[in-house]
Amino acid sequence: MRSIEKVYGYQPGKDTAQIYLHSPIYGDSTAGLHIHVRVNQRLPGGEADAGSITLDKMIDVLEGKKFGSGNIKSEVFGLMPKTHSGLLVSFNSASNKKQFEGISVMYVPNPWKQP
C-alpha cells in the first residue's frame, strides 16, 4: 500500500484502492493471471463479468500450495466464474485452444476486441 500511496497518490481513508487479478479468459499469448491496481475507479465491465481474485486471496492460494504440485492452476480456475454447466468461459481466439487443453471451456466472442 505504501507503493500505491507513492505512485498513485493514494490516501487511506479518503481514496479507494482495488488490487486484484482477473481471469485469464482471453486465451492468447499475452493473457494470463495478472495484477490490476485501481485507485478511485470502477471495475470495468469485462473484468467484473469475468470475475476477479483479490490479491489477498491469491496470496492465500500461493501460500497454501507448493509450486510444481499442479494444484495452483486448478485452485485459480476454481475461483473463476463458470457457466451453469460448469464450463470456464474464454474469449474465442486462434491461439486459445492450446492454452486451455484438458480444461472444460466454453468459447465466446470477445465483445471488447478492437477490429
Q: What pLDDT is attached to residue 50?
A: 60
pTM assigned to the model: 0.59
* Range of the structural domain that residue 21 is part of: 2-81
- Residue 75 in any domain: the answer is yes
Grid cell in block for residue 36 = 490490476
The CA-CA-CA angle for residues 68, 74, 78, to 5°, reads: 150
- Residue 76 in any domain: the answer is yes
Q: What is the signed CA dihedral for 76, 78, 79, 80, rounded to 10 degrees? A: 90
Cβ within 8 Å of residue 2, ≥6 positions away: none
pLDDT along the chain (115 residues), means of 10: 89 90 58 78 66 80 68 75 80 64 77 63
Amino acid identity, position 9 = G
Structural domain count, the chain: 1
